[in-house]
Amino acid sequence: MSKKAGKKPDAKELEAMRIAEEERKAEEERKLLIERRKTEAPDSGAGLALLINEYCIEQLWDERHPNPKEFLHEFITRVLKDRDVLDNFEPLDISLLVDFNIQNLIFVKDKLKFDNKKAAIAVNILWNLLINDNILYQQQVDWKNISIPQRAQYFKGKTEQNDLAEFKRLLKNHTAENPLTGQKYLETSDVKEIADYAKDFFFMQYNLFKFAMYNQQPKENERLTLFVENPLEIPPLSQGRHIQKDQEDLKFEEELKKVM
């Protein structure tokens, strides 16, 4: 005699199997969302991609990751790989980006006491100072086979004036109200703190940052020539540096008044 066919599951068993399958799929989706959250670059709500997202900041700041630099190095490597530009950066370049962003994060979390959402906005506005008009973040470049004079041609559009204009635009956009919460992304006082920090940390050393990007010799600071009827007594060099810095500070502050 042939064996009897296996007993078909009854209604209760079918229902249990259906529930188990739904739970399995829900768990897979949950894990997928967690993984996606690690690498997503959501919009800030005001036109800024948050490449360093809230998950990254949670790991570095809230969870006190045991190896923060290694974690951020892997995170930034993944960001560059997702943008298909990783080959444009040497390991040392990424290490410099790690130091740059960690210093910015310490500033916004430790001094400004930002929550993770505001910290992500501020850190990415500051990182955008490097990204703006920078071909290394836009497309793959055969950098090793391009001479330094030729590299300079790729950076013609990346100027202090253009970077300041984009910086001001992002700050202004983020002083608007978030339509979902009714609150501003950044307060006016926040903008002033970020602007002062960027002035001292980035814009006052602009040529040095540009040098690090493509190994071009930084230009010397332009000298201001004054024509006067009577010659002035030559001040000490230290005073001359203070005069130049005061003039640069005044120009920077005048530009930022257009934002605030």
Please give the residue range of the domain that contains residue 145: 40-256
Task: Flag whether 27 is in a domain.
Answer: no
Q: Is residue 228 part of a domain?
A: yes
Q: Are 204 and 249 in contact (CB under 8 A)?
A: no
Q: Tell me, what DSSP letter sits at residue 46?
A: S
**What is the reported pTM?**
0.74
Neighbours of 253 (CB within 10 A): 14
Per-residue pLDDT tens digits of the chain, which is 260 residues long: 445 556 788 888 888 888 998 988 888 887 777 777 777 899 999 999 999 999 999 999 998 889 999 999 999 999 999 999 999 998 989 999 999 999 999 999 999 999 999 999 999 999 999 999 999 999 999 877 888 778 888 888 899 999 999 999 999 999 998 888 888 999 999 999 999 999 999 999 988 888 777 663 334 443 333 333 443 343 444 444 444 455 555 666 666 666 66
**Alpha helices, DSSP H only, in 148-187?**
148-154, 160-173
Of 13, 46, 11, 6, nearest to 170 by C-alpha is: 46
CA-based torsion, 229, 233, 237, 243: positive or negative: negative
Domain count for the chain? 1
Structural element, H or E, at residue 16: helix 11-39
Instruction: Find the helix packing angle between 116-131 and 188-201, rounded to 10°.
Output: 40
Any domain includes 10: no
| Region of 45 on the Ramachandran plot (φ > 0 left; ψ -120 to 50 alpha; else beta) | left
